[in-house]
Amino acid sequence: MKIGLTITICFTIIAGLRAEDSCDKDEKLWHYSCPADKDNDDISMSANCHDFDTVSVRVSSCVSVTISETGIGLENEVESLTVENVTKELQLSTIFSVQNMRLIKLLNIGNIPNITHFSFTNVNRIGQLHIENTKIEFFEETLKKININEFILINVTIEKLHALEIFDVEGLNVTFINCRITVNGGPVQLENSKHGSIKLVNTMFEFENSGNMSLKAEYVQVLNCTFIRASVNVISDYIDVNDTCGYNASFLTLRYTKHLEYNRNKILSEKLYQPEKAKEGNQVPEKNNNSVVDEAKVAKGAAAGISCSLSLCLVAVSYILTIRM
């Protein structure tokens, strides 16, 4: 087999678990479930599924697992990796060798020490990057120059995010729900060149130093989010910002062309801009319970239907639940 993917499994014994080494020739899938009779298990894909080239790899039900690749080049055909139900730690040391990754899915992982740039050096497209119920100590990869169709984070804590530089991508769909993200490096850019959507729900972005954040898509929704030391620029046809707070000189700039809904927000300094065509006399629909139009500043003490303190509390609770998995 051309693939020399080595997966090292390190774990404590759990009663009832058993090894499952399953090859699905029709799906070109190799599924490995951690055994319970060894403290350390070194397995190689070269010894499994020898009658076909594996396209998808799934690893599940481990205490701790290290995934690494040795001796492979661009001939590697693995384009889908799923790791799920890892109680303690996932060491993701792999190098994705294909240019087109169909799926990377990491679900229910106690802790990932690092998602490195080194893993993605050969990748120029990812169909879906999905991380859920996981804590990540350091997210080093910026995803710059990678065309991503769908980026999903649900119940994820990122203790240190170097930067996100996703821009000039057509049809990018981003969904962040119940996340806590601390940025310690460059900017956060989530920008579509055309179409696509960005949805941020009950999520906190905290910049260690004052930083910039850019959201650009056909539709942008920011619901019950918190920004700390962030200058946020939103460009969209349709913008929906509700129950959102800002601290430490956070600043929000909104530019829209068709519709704006803006309610119960409390941000230290913010501006709302009417689209150019509206200024020329073609008024667009607008819902705005803060009574702000045409580049006027909202008062710093604008009433919020949900307090920022409560928003911070909810995100903190989500953070605690994630790290105690």
Q: Give the whole-angstrom CA distance, residue 153 versus residue 188.
A: 15
* 160 secondary structure, DSSP code: E
- Whether the Cβ atoms of residue 231 and residue 250 lie closer than 8 Å to each other: yes
- Whether the Cβ atoms of residue 95 and residue 117 lie closer than 8 Å to each other: no
Instruction: Write the burial class of residue 81 (CB in 10 Å: 0-12 exposed, 13-18 middle, 19+ buried).
Output: buried
Q: Give the whole-angstrom CA distance, residue 111 versus residue 88.
A: 6
Q: What is the mean pLDDT of the chain?
A: 77
- Coil, helix or strand at residue 62: strand
Q: What is the mean pLDDT of residues 305-319?
A: 51
pLDDT at 316: 52
Does residue 66 or residue 301 have the better pLDDT?
66
- Coil, helix or strand at residue 316: helix
Domain ranges of the chain: 1-141, 145-325
pLDDT at 13: 27
2-52 per-position pLDDT tens digit: 444 443 433 332 323 334 447 777 677 777 787 665 544 444 555 556 666
Instruction: Mark residue 66 as left, alpha or beta (left: phi above 0; alpha: psi -120 to 50; beta: remaining).
Output: beta
pLDDT at 37: 57
139-148 per-position pLDDT tens digit: 999 999 899 9
Does the structure show a pLDDT above 80 at 207? yes
pLDDT at 56: 83
144-179 per-position pLDDT tens digit: 989 999 999 999 999 999 999 998 888 899 999 999
- Whether the Cβ atoms of residue 252 and residue 225 lie closer than 8 Å to each other: no
Does the structure show a pLDDT above 80 at 325? no
pLDDT at 113: 97
54-81 per-position pLDDT tens digit: 778 888 888 888 887 643 333 457 888 8
pLDDT at 45: 55
272-292 per-position pLDDT tens digit: 766 555 444 444 445 444 433
